[in-house]
Amino acid sequence: MNNAADLLTPKDRRILAGLGAVCLLAILFLVLGGLGQRRGARTRLESLAAAQNETRLAEAARDSARTEWQSWEDARLDLAGLRRDYFYRRADGIARLRLDLQKIFNSLGLAPADVKFDYADYDKEAAQKVTVTFTFSGSYGLLRRFLFAVEKFPKLLFAERVDFLSIE
């Protein structure tokens, strides 16, 4: 049987050898170029994973900051509600306080003597403390009803001190 290589002329063999060399170089180029592409792809995937991780961390920090901001906003609204509902406004506060105390005294049938108002300003807190000092004579039950009325009053009033001058 004849070998196929015997049928080729020397010119055909050179052409085939050249084509084979070109194919071998092309394959070698593709293999070596593909390795570089794979390394580059791996590097890009690693940087993508790092960027996604940073994004997740940034989103978590953003969500945490939003939650904290919301809690501060809720606290601000709570403080505004406290100021509105429990404290007297500076403009008409003293007159309203005097009227409210008079309502409490009248509801209990008290006529306190020597009512004295002292004022202390707290500039840093933008507040004013009013201390009311008065003398009243009555039973222990009446004192308890007065203290209960002060505690239940819708505005912030409290008895800071009770001095007993004479006990009979």
Where are the domains positioned within the chain?
Answer: 1-86, 93-152
Calculate what percentage of the chain has a pLDDT beyond 70. Answer: 96
pLDDT of 168 strictly over 70: no
What integer is the mean pLDDT of 14-24? 91
pLDDT of 7 strictly over 80: no
pLDDT of residue 145: 92
Instruction: Write phi, then psi, for 135 (nearest 5 degrees).
Output: -115, 135
pLDDT of 159 strictly over 50: yes
Rounded Cα distance between 128 and 155, Å, is 14
pLDDT of residue 155: 86
pLDDT of 127 strictly over 80: no
Rounded Cα distance between 74 and 143, Å, is 38
Q: pLDDT of 27-76, one tens digit each?
A: 888 888 777 777 777 888 999 999 999 999 999 999 999 999 999 999 99
For the chain, give the mean pLDDT.
Answer: 86
Burial of 101 (0-12, 13-18, 19+ CB in 10 A): buried
What integer is the mean pLDDT of 93-108? 88
What integer is the mean pLDDT of 114-140? 83
pLDDT of 9 strictly over 50: yes
Rounded Cα distance between 33 and 141, Å, is 99
Q: How sure is the predictor about 5, in pLDDT bands with cuts at 50, 70 and 90?
A: low
Higher-scoring residue by pLDDT: 140, 168: 140
pLDDT of residue 1: 44
Q: How many CB atoms lie within 10 A of CB 149?
A: 16
pLDDT of residue 3: 75
pLDDT of residue 74: 96
